[in-house]
Amino acid sequence: RYRQQSLLKALHREGLDVKQLKIKIQPVLVNEIPPMVERPLSKESARHLSSIAEHIDYLPLKQALIGLSRNTN
């Protein structure tokens, strides 16, 4: 749309007698993002995470694993 005048001039230079140029912009359709679904861990997976956390020295990672292990069904 913003280059409408320059396009008309270019067409005139090519010998085309164009009086008007109508341009419509259609946005690209994007697939809808599916909603986030909460997926709690099984009790077995939670036990594994908790067990792994016991052997981690790096406190932020240890706390994150413990927090994840509490998200069970």
Tens of pLDDT along 37-66?
888 789 999 999 999 999 999 999 999 999
For residue 24, being part of any structural domain is answered with no
Residue with token string 């994150």:
64
Closest among 52, 36, 37, 45 to 70, alpha carbons compared: 45
For residue 48, being part of any structural domain is answered with yes
Average pLDDT over residues 12-39: 85
Domain that holds residue 47: 40-73
pTM of the model: 0.47
Q: How many domains does one find in the chain? A: 1
Helix/strand/coil percentages in the chain, nearest 5: 45, 5, 50
Q: How much of the chain exceeds pLDDT 70, in percent?
A: 97
Q: Amino acid identity of 71?
A: N
For residue 53, being part of any structural domain is answered with yes
